[in-house]
Structure 1
Amino acid sequence: MYYQLSDFESLVESAVLYIRQKGRSEATINHFKWQWEQVRQYLKKREMETFSARDIMGYCNDKFGTTDYLSLKKYQHDCARQLLCLAEFIESGQMPDALRVQHADYDVRQWNPVFSAFMEEKRRQQRRTGTIYLYKCYLCNFLRAMLQQEINAPAMLNSFAIAGYITHMYSQSKGAKEVSLRVIKVFLSYLYANRLTDKDFSTVVPRGRFPKRSEVPSVYTPDELQKILSCADRSTRTGKRDYAFLLITYRLGLRISDLVSLKLQNINWECNELSFIQVKTGNPVTLPVPEDVGNALIDYLRYCRPNVPASYVFVSRNYPYGKLCPKLISQVIRSHIRASGIDTGNRKTGAHAFRHSMAYNLLAAKTQLPVISEIMGHSVLATTMCYLRIDIESLRACALEVPSFPCDFYQQKGGFFYE
């Protein structure tokens, strides 16, 4: 469908009305409008009297220099998403419900029969949703690399192509490389077990030998955490919500996955307890609700939370008031840390830093490790022991004095080696 350039403003008005009816905030709408204005300037500069969705995509490709949107940075990905929404609206009068770029599984469509069968086997093995997602992402990257070398079937695989890919992949991230190696190794073993390859190419893939927990956990002192919490504007609905989950993350050490999955029925107001099943481990956890956490929750639930049938404690502020996105919580925490003016140095600013801080404060209060392990919801005590590295005062108490040597030791061979 073609539009006149003079009709661009009316098209934008219709598109804005569409996303406003979808419950998008005014701030989000302004981002869309700004990006679409760049398209109008682009068309005007090229003196195009008419335009179509193809011209929108042409602008997108000129702007980012690629059609592989999965390789873009987050900000670029968001811009591309807004442009794709306008192109879709021109074609069909609608936009994707999620308003995001769909995962490009079609990039490996020539591998789809094998790829789909492998993913289905993982689902039958009852792998967790997060694990399935990791298999999907890392395996798609591997298969796209094979397609670039014109390898579009298992029978065409060879050791050189596989070794060439794993040599250069994720050179800046050891953790991502380790996970990718495991996924590729499992996939190649699957191909050999199902007689899709003559050789077991999994032997070409080395085992990831990267030390776990090599970094010291990032922690913040109680004074710093109070500064961060004070940055939440509790006079607004959003501020009350943000303050509530910031306080829960700090005081109870919940993982983001558990926080966004927290439901109203998990709160026992009579006993002042929080009982839930951990998403990561599947273990049940019961935690006491401190008075300040309880008051923050009541303030949010009574005055700010939309009156919707959804059972989740924390819901989005816009229609359809669904479950919060984990990335939103991380972004809120980072923004509050920046607003507090704290010098973070090399410390991380994500939600997990709050969890580490709670463990650090418990250690500083001389809390026993088994108690901390139970509060944190760790499956084994060894996981909790990694926090011992941040308890500097207790480590100092473990230091031993260096014994002195007798004078005869330094006088060996006339003291030649110790002058």
Structure 2
Amino acid sequence: MNYADTVEKVMSLLKEKKVCSSSRKSHRDCYESLGSYLDQNSTEYTVKARDEWFAEIKKSLPSQRCVIWIRYVYQLEEMDSSGTVSDRRLYLNQSVYDKLPVSWKDDLDFYLEDCCKRYTKRTLELTRTYFSEGLLIFDEIGVVNISDISYEAVLILVNTKMYQSAETRNVILNYTARMIQFYEKIGKCTKPYSLLFNSQIYPHIGLIDAFSSENKAALQKTIDVIMSAADFKGKIEPFIECLQAHGYIGTTLKLAKHALTAFYLFLDIHDLGYHPDIVWIWFSEVKNTLGTSWLHWRRVLSFCNEYLLSGDIHPGGKYKYIPTIYDELPEWCKEAVAGLLEQKKREYRESGTLKSYRCSCASFCLFLIDHGYDSFKQISPEIIKEFSIQDEHSTFKGRATRFVIVRAFLRYLEEHRYTERHGLDQCLISGSAPVDKIIDVLSDEQIQRIQEYRLTHNAPVELRDIAIVLLGLKTGLRAYDILALRFQDIDWKKCQISIIMKKTKTQITLPMPVEVGNAIYSYLKYGRPDAESDFIFVRSKAPYGRLTGKVCTRALYRILPERNDVKGGGFHVTRRTFATNLLKNHAGIDDVMDALGHRDPTSVMKYLLLDDERSRKCGLSLSDIGLMLEGGL
């Protein structure tokens, strides 16, 4: 801003508008005061300099003069920005209310009549002034009464630079929103325009004009909408109630309402309907406005899509947001891979195993595509050899696992006539050499610390942690068997736990030690949320669903933090410790097998190495095997 020139332009305009001499003198005094401040500090006019000057004059001038002078300075900024000062900023003899057209006055008076019983006379006058400020902006863009308001007009108002303090600007917008909301309730406004004034929603609505060209094109292609914007709006409250029914409270419910309201406004402003594809196109554009809460928004939107399609949500489910390699494969590849996966499902393979199969087969197919293949009939030993050479696994075991899966895929292709070649699966190695590892178990000192933790920690999650860890340590149950425990699996009178083990499908009945029973009871009475679930162990926060296996490992780490630094030091160490302690207490191999639910004694033999006392009894005399000690002794 050229300060001196801008001041003269404002003063000339005041004279042209026949503003009284006292008012012009007051303007001049204000501008001279600010100009002197800028000269003394050797600085140009900036917002920062303006605020520092204002903070200084507030100490010495009457508050009423300060309020008037800051308005004069906003006139300077408007002149510099637009080349003039609007009449509503010049504070001519007419009040702001008097500058309104009759149509707006009628609408405002009708609203104020409804407010007069709630406001004092002074408050009513201030209210009329603030309303008039906002309505004058509508008038300037051709909106002359409440019935003419549109989304476009409200967006212009919200984005208008008012040359007011931030506080005054917010007051004007809030008052205008109240009036519009009043007319929405009585049916004179047919759209929820007042929602655009919500500062927690407006920044995240998104406008198509600002979208990327790719997303604009994608929106044009999405024409088969599932429901209208109005119907979508009607689903928001039932969806919030669904979240509440699943135990969600507080922040999640508030965020869900904000997110879905913002999306509804986006649809309504642009005359679009609801479709899951539109949700994700919109989310990709507004994501940058969400800060660190974008992950929470994404999950809420996934819940909403699920609710609108099925009528409920599955809080424990996992959602896929990024396409996998498999998703991008051509149909001739997908058909064969899907067939193999279906076969493995019928063999009762776990979901993790199926995921490994899908990933390895997709990588093999992608390799073929990159080498120009468009059919499995072209596969040859040479291309398989090349695939094995380029594999990037860092360990031999990792490569061998990948090759075992691809071998199975090649056999499937041969059996189902996708290729005429025979024996292609023999072109890849099929396994890795066996590896013996030193058995890792908990020390006596660590076991003692677990017992001490139980006596000194009483928070809900801590009670759950100790119950889980003691179950692993005293019964040898695997993590997923512990988390699968249901109320009917425990016989409290007989102190027994009866389950079907997930890994071996073996039914097993174990004694429940008193300390384990007490730990479970303490968790159920003082730590477990009031959740309608058959599972004993549930999430500590909504949704109160079943836990995952990682919870057991994290429980152990919270009690024994040093285990986090042990390679392979997960929850399974409690099962190994349980087996080792059984052997140390002179249990037989068969007893250990029964306790662990094993069918093969070979997996128990490795624990014998840790039984120092009985291992010493197995020692052989050196003379019996022909070895002599030095000196002949």
Q: Which TM-score applies when normalising by structure 1?
A: 0.72
Partner residue in 2 for 1:385: 605
* Residue 417 (structure 2) aligned to one of 195, 203, 208: 195
Structure 1 residues without counterparts, runs of 5 or longer: 30-50, 60-78, 411-419
Secondary structure in structure 1 of the residue aligned to 2:508: strand
Secondary structure in structure 1 of the residue aligned to 2:560: helix
Range with greater deviation from structure 2 (391-400 or 184-193):
391-400
Aligned AA for 1:155? K
Cα distance in 1 for residues equivalent to 2:364 and 2:404? 12
Matches within 5 A, 1:6-405: 10=201, 53-55=283-285, 83=294, 86=297, 98=317, 100-102=319-321, 104=324, 105-110=326-331, 111-169=333-391, 171-200=393-422, 201-212=424-435, 214-228=436-450, 230-231=452-453, 234-338=457-561, 342=562, 348-403=568-623
Q: Percent identity?
A: 22
Q: Once the 2 structures are TM-superposed, how far is the Cα of residue 376 of structure 1 from its aligned partner?
A: 0.8
Aligned AA for 2:569? T
Cα distance in 1 for residues equivalent to 2:545 and 2:418? 43
Q: Once the 2 structures are TM-superposed, how far is the Cα of residue 380 of structure 1 from its aligned partner?
A: 1.2
Range with greater deviation from structure 2 (306-315 or 224-233):
224-233
Secondary structure in structure 1 of the residue aligned to 2:497: strand
Q: Once the 2 structures are TM-superposed, how far is the Cα of residue 272 of structure 1 from its aligned partner?
A: 0.5
Cα distance in 1 for residues equivalent to 2:529 and 2:494? 25
Q: Once the 2 structures are TM-superposed, how far is the Cα of residue 203 of structure 1 from its aligned partner?
A: 1.4
Q: Which has the higher contact order (CA 8 A, sep 6+)?
A: 1
Partner residue in 2 for 1:62: none
Cα distance in 2 for residues equivalent to 1:92 and 1:288? 42
Partner residue in 2 for 1:44: none
Q: Once the 2 structures are TM-superposed, how far is the Cα of residue 400 of structure 1 from its aligned partner?
A: 1.9
Cα distance in 1 for residues equivalent to 2:483 and 2:533? 12
Distance verdict in 2 for CA 1:369–1:329, change over 3 Å: same
Cα distance in 2 for residues equivalent to 1:108 and 1:8? 44
Q: Once the 2 structures are TM-superposed, how far is the Cα of residue 331 of structure 1 from its aligned partner?
A: 2.4
Distance verdict in 2 for CA 1:89–1:235, change over 3 Å: closer
Cα distance in 2 for residues equivalent to 1:23 and 1:144? 43
Aligned AA for 1:158? S
Cα RMSD of the aligned pairs, angstroms, is: 4.1
Q: Once the 2 structures are TM-superposed, how far is the Cα of residue 130 of structure 1 from its aligned partner?
A: 4.7
Q: Once the 2 structures are TM-superposed, how far is the Cα of residue 139 of structure 1 from its aligned partner?
A: 2.7
Cα distance in 2 for residues equivalent to 1:256 and 1:182? 27
Cα distance in 2 for residues equivalent to 1:127 and 1:88? 28
Aligned AA for 2:606? C
Structure 2 residues without counterparts, runs of 5 or longer: 1-154, 160-196, 206-238, 254-280, 307-312
Query: Is the CA contact 2:360–2:402 (under 8 Å) kept in the aligned structure 1?
Result: yes
Distance verdict in 2 for CA 1:113–1:271, change over 3 Å: same
Number of aligned residue pairs: 361
Query: Is the CA contact 2:489–2:498 (under 8 Å) kept in the aligned structure 1?
Result: yes
Query: Is the CA contact 2:468–2:555 (under 8 Å) kept in the aligned structure 1?
Result: no
